[in-house]
Amino acid sequence: MAEPTKPKTILVTGFGPFGEHKINASWEAVSGLPNEINGLKIVKEQVPVAYEQVEKNIPALWQLYNPKLVVHVGVSALADKIQIESRAHRTGYEKIDIEKKCPAGGTASCAANSETDCIETGLCTKTICDRLNEFPTLQAATSDDPGRYLCEFIYYTSLSINSQSTLFVHVPPLDKPFSKKQLTYALEEIIKCGLVLTAKNEGKDMGVSPNSKIYKNGRVAAAF
């Protein structure tokens, strides 16, 4: 019997315009990524700020690409650092989207594991933040509150499909304080670190150098 096709892609999404964000910093950062990282193709998708679009398209993208890693990116006007979100919830989505709609009952009903109220990522957010904070021009923090809007909704949807290879990143608006170039660079580092953590979860070493930094929780950070 033939082996299943191994994932050869990384799926990265950003959101389109909404509200005051006529130019969405999340998509600006994603669109600047290279087409390949560590030999894996980067698939970049802009997602409308609409619940039905997420319910329809995100599971389809997982099925189409069978990605090694998924990184969703959103913008937060409240953020002054790059935030790595640790979890997402199934319910509480009562804020209307750009189509003036909310999900029925405020619930992410399309998700594969829709009976679980809160799902955490299997990737160590602290490790990723520590990596970003090694750069003097970047600042990062972990967060456990993605905001009960499309950012958390899309995160929950993907976490319910595969929590071991899914991340969500909140970025501040452009130039408050990071430029598009800085945000894109940060995403590259997040992806590289996420690949190493994903491989560790699978019991692989990804060819990590013995000099790679080991954190107190036992996770290994990317040495790029």
Residue 135 has pLDDT above 50, yes or no: yes
Residues belonging to the active site: 85, 151, 170
Tell me if 173 is assigned to some domain.
yes
Closest to 14 (Cα-Cα) out of 2, 35, 1, 29: 29
Classify residue 151: in a domain, yes or no: yes
The model's pTM = 0.87
Sign of the Cα pseudo-torsion (114, 151, 44, 124, in order)? negative
Model confidence at 212, pLDDT cuts 50, 70, 90, reads very low
- Inside any domain, residue 223: no
Integer Cα distance of 60 and 81 in angstroms = 31
Domain with 71 in it? 9-201
In a domain, 207, yes or no: no
- The reply to whether 215 falls in a domain is no
Total count of domains within the chain: 1
Residue 218 lies in a domain: no
| Span 57-73, pLDDT tens digits | 999 999 999 999 999 99
Q: What is the CATH number of the domain that holds 31?
A: 3.40.630.20
The burial of 214, by beta-carbon neighbours within 10 Å (0-12 exposed, 13-18 middle, 19 or more buried), is given as exposed
Residue type, 104: A
Q: What angle do CA 126, 128, 131 make, to 5 degrees?
A: 110
For residue 67, say if its preceding peptide bond is cis, omega within 30 degrees of 0.
no
Residue 216 lies in a domain: no
